[in-house]
A and B are shown apart, each in its own frame.
Chain A
Amino acid sequence: MPIIEVENLSRGFQVMEPAGRFRRRKKTVHAVRGIDFTIEPGEAVGYIGANGAGKSTTIKMLTGVLVPSSGRVTVCGFNPVPQRKALARKIGVVFGQRSQLWWDLPLQDSYPILAAMHRMPEALWRPRFRELSDQMDLGGFLTTPVRQLSLGQRMRGEVAAALLHRPELVILDEPTIGLDMISKEKLRQFLDAERRANGTTLLLTTHDMSDIQRLCQRVLVVDDGAIAYDGPLTGLAEVAGAVRTMVVDLAAPVHSPDLLALPDGAVHQGIEADGIRHSVSFDPRRLSAATVLAAISSRAEVADLSLHEPDIEHLVRQLYGSARS
């Protein structure tokens, strides 16, 4: 049985818009319009889309915070809003922007309270907490008040809090937002290990392509309230025709792109800093970064380089554009 079943789900909001000097008119904004998807237990799914595409609204409908305007949603066998409290025992939710920890207390004080909320006796939650604390390396700051933790430390604490009651499904809304590379990587490693060890289903929204690449076998792209793509990440790049961009800084200026002898399929995008910095885009399915770099190195000395993955907004825009035309 699927852990999440969404059928023709829609949600509109009434907003007031000015009509004339004093009068206001009711207008319905459709945040989510008729989406369908199912998620099987143990899957790891990335739910992506631009700001305002309807991600948060969907998450709210899945967690029982918001009732759908129409359509059907079943999570862990429950109808989220009427069975909100029963559902809350089965799922863990991490909101990247808000805390569910007790702000003024040492980090370790939040867990007994959360465990009690889930009616877990000490013998059940204590070992689980030790396990989470070890895997996430919480030991060094368990006695620090939450308000004094760094963002990376706090997010690890938040994720541990959401997983304490061994939820079947973990929903993470922007879990890596604002984190540095090391903290992001730690969090991803942990979530991946958790899923492999316990078969936990993961659903996460993010703006970070690497989160998806590291964690999810499947992505759902939502655009303007509708599902624009549902399938593996590699397929998404194919559908959208994603390109990577290599930026090289040369030791000596080169003023014409022709002098770099770029291989077929690589497109010169521009020159900056008087011929020192060049950006080159290429299709990763046809060319490797090494081939592009070798070609450039054969003509000029490369002092520095960076590689840029296609960002999600870009992919989504491409995808939506091609679906429309």
Chain B
Amino acid sequence: MASARDPHAPVTTLVLLKLLVSARLRSQLAYRGSFLSDVAGQVLLGVTEFVELYAIVHNVPTFGGMTLAQTLLVFGLASVAFALGDLLMGETDSMSETIRSGKLEVLLVRPLPVLLQLATSDFQLRRVGRLLFGAAALVVALLIADVQWDAAKILLATITPLAGAAIFCALFLGAGAMQFWILDGRQFANAFTYGGRYVASMPGAALFFPVQILFTFVIPATLVAYAPSLVILGLDGPAGIPAWTGWLGVPTAVVLSGLMLLLWRAAIKKYTGAGG
């Protein structure tokens, strides 16, 4: 493949990205045993999360006003969105280690944006295990849940995983940026990322009213899966998460990503001492 290329061809960003990602993938395959156990662990984690939801829904007729199939839709949407976000931006989770070990300086003296290097340096293939499980749950849910499809719902079902992924990317980015100020902030940051995933994958109506508001309008976790599911399933939402919020996914993703990118730039500036 590489030898077939014209040796004088200019190096495009696409070629560079391919090289970076493939290097990352090969690194992971270097330890086959640990790679396989990681994939298995990720699938098992997905199964456990699902069993937890199943146990609740199985013992009560409805969970937050949703049946098992409807709950599965929320779970599937949230899992796919989180897995994609984690796949792209998961490295920012351990930003404090990157800073402390001096690795950040190595990234800073290369002619590439730090964020691009981080995103490609942690393209964790094992997380694909979680993505596949989430996608399977989503497909099953769409088949067994009783959905009256129309053009708007098809559109929403298509864009929701992508908007959700963007929301999680932004949350991971914010969590990484935060660790420039709070060097031991990994646990705190995890509250937003992994905590966000937990909230995203359950029916929002089961939450306490102020918590509904918090996770819809402050940390937009319910907008990832629950709110759009309300629209797709034709349900009314609880007081804190009205059904119209189901359409807020894309604008929220855009606004949140913009804000978190600004925060990230401020964080890099803080590190270099260029401002603030």
Question: Given that A85-B111, A98-B106, A113-B19 are known contacts, is A122 also in contact with B272, CB under 8 Å in the complex?
Answer: no
Shortest CB-to-CB span from B59 to chain A, Å, is 46
Docked-complex contact B11 and A120, CB < 8 angstroms:
yes
Tell whether, in the assembled complex, residue A117 and residue B111 are in contact, meaning their CB atoms are under 8 Å apart.
yes
B102-A97 in contact (CB<8A): yes
The 8 A CB mask of A96-125 against B (1 = contact, 0 = none) is 011110111100010011011111111100
- Provide the residues of chain B in CB contact with A145, threshold 8 Å: 30
Residue from B19, B23, B102, B111 with most neighbouring chain A CB atoms (10 Å) = B111
Query: Among B5, B31, B103, B109, which residue has its beta carbon within 8 angstroms of that of A64?
Result: B109
* Residues of the B chain whose Cβ atoms lie less than 8 Å from the Cβ of A60: 105
Q: How many residues of B contact A (CB 8 A)?
A: 31
CB distance from B123 to the nearest CB of A (A): 13
- Give Cα A64 to B10, complex, Å: 27
Contact partner of A117 (CB less than 8 A), chosen from B26, B28, B112, is B112
Stretch of A86-94, A180-188, A250-258, A268-276 that contacts chain B: A86-94
User: Are A89 and B19 neighbours in the complex by a CB distance under 8 Å?
Assistant: no
Task: For the complex, give the distance between the alpha carbons of A247 and B5 in Å.
Answer: 62
Chain A residues, Cβ within 8 Å of B113: 85
Contact of A95 with B by CB under 8 A: yes
Q: Pick the contact of A65: B2, B5, B27, B109 (CB < 8 A).
A: B109
User: Is the pair B26, A66 in contact by a Cβ cutoff of 8 Å?
Assistant: no
CB distance from A271 to the nearest CB of B (A): 45
Is the Cβ of A85 less than 8 Å from the Cβ of B112?
A: yes
A67 contacts which chain B residues (CB < 8 A)? 272-274
Q: Name the residue of chain B whose CB is nearest to the CB of A118.
A: B111
Q: Which of B30, B31, B105, B111 contacts A98 (CB 8 A)?
A: B105
Q: What mask results when residues 68 to 98 of chain A are scored 1 for a CB within 8 Å of chain B, else 0?
A: 0100000000000110111011010101011
Question: Taking the nearest CB of chain A, how far is it from the CB of B267, in angstroms?
Answer: 14
Q: Take A81-B272, A97-B102, A116-B15 as given contacts and tell me if A121 and B10 are in contact as well, using a CB distance cutoff of 8 Å.
A: yes
- By a CB distance below 8 angstroms, the chain B residues around A166 are none
How far does the alpha carbon of A100 sit from the alpha carbon of B274 in the complex, in Å? 24
Return chain B residues, CB-CB under 8 Å to A116: 11, 15-16, 19-20
Closest approach, in angstroms, between the C-beta of B253 and any C-beta of chain A? 27
> In angstroms, how far is the closest chain A Cβ from the Cβ of B276?
11
Interface flags for B57-92 (1: CB within 8 Å of A; 0: not) read 000000000000000000000000000000000000
11 contacting pairs across A/B (C-beta < 8 A): A65-B108, A85-B113, A95-B105, A115-B11, A116-B20, A117-B16, A118-B111, A119-B11, A121-B8, A121-B11, A122-B2
Query: Interface of B with A (CB < 8 Å)?
Result: 2, 5, 7-11, 15-16, 19-20, 23, 26-28, 30-31, 101-103, 105-106, 108-113, 272-274
10 further interface pairs, Cβ-Cβ under 8 Å (given A85-B111, A98-B102, A115-B11): A65-B108, A67-B272, A84-B108, A99-B106, A102-B23, A116-B11, A116-B20, A121-B10, A121-B11, A122-B7
